[in-house]
Amino acid sequence: MKMEPALTVEEWAAWRIEPLSLKGQLVVHDDADGLEIVTYENPGDVAGMAKFKIDTWDRGGIAGVMALANHALPDDDPRKITRADVENLRDEARAQREQYSDEHMGLWLDGLADKLAALLPQEGSTGN
């Protein structure tokens, strides 16, 4: 079951971000209407601030924040979801079906891979 990506190619281009430096700061505030997210290039520096709000019921927006947060992690961070992670899950799903005749586990692993892939920039987008 393929899922819609959390962000379109155009949204990735509009939200192009680089990993935050150690001196950078991300603030997420729940104000009952939704999430207000503020990033600072330098803590306290309003000039380097970016701010956006996501309605609590906007599941697509929340998934977009998840995608952006993953993208902002440095490439060497072990928590970062990568295309290699997705491909490894798909390989294991195939192995479960072909070597162990475990269709249920194969489908579950493919579903997990689809969820994670939806958080990654699409091939050819500027978020790559």
Q: Which domain holds residue 58?
A: 9-117
Tell whether 30 is covered by a domain. yes
CB 34 within 8 A of CB 58: yes
pTM for the whole thing?
0.73
Tell whether 37 is covered by a domain. yes
Q: Could you say which residues of the chain have pLDDT below 70? A: 1, 14-26, 40-47, 52, 56, 125-128
Tell whether 4 is covered by a domain. no
Closest CA to 26 of 15, 13, 41, 12: 41
Tell whether 2 is covered by a domain. no
Tell whether 125 is covered by a domain. no
Tell whether 3 is covered by a domain. no
Tell whether 75 is covered by a domain. yes
**Which run of H or of E encompasses 38?**
strand 34-40
**Location of structure tokens 């692993």:** 109
- Provide the pLDDT for residue 114: 96
As given in the structure block, the two tokens for residue 79 are: 């928590």
How many independent structural domains does the chain possess? 1
Amino acid occupying residue 105: M
- Provide the pLDDT for residue 21: 45
The angle, 0 to 180 degrees and rounded to 10, between the axes of the packed helices 103-117 and 83-98 is: 170
- Provide the pLDDT for residue 72: 81
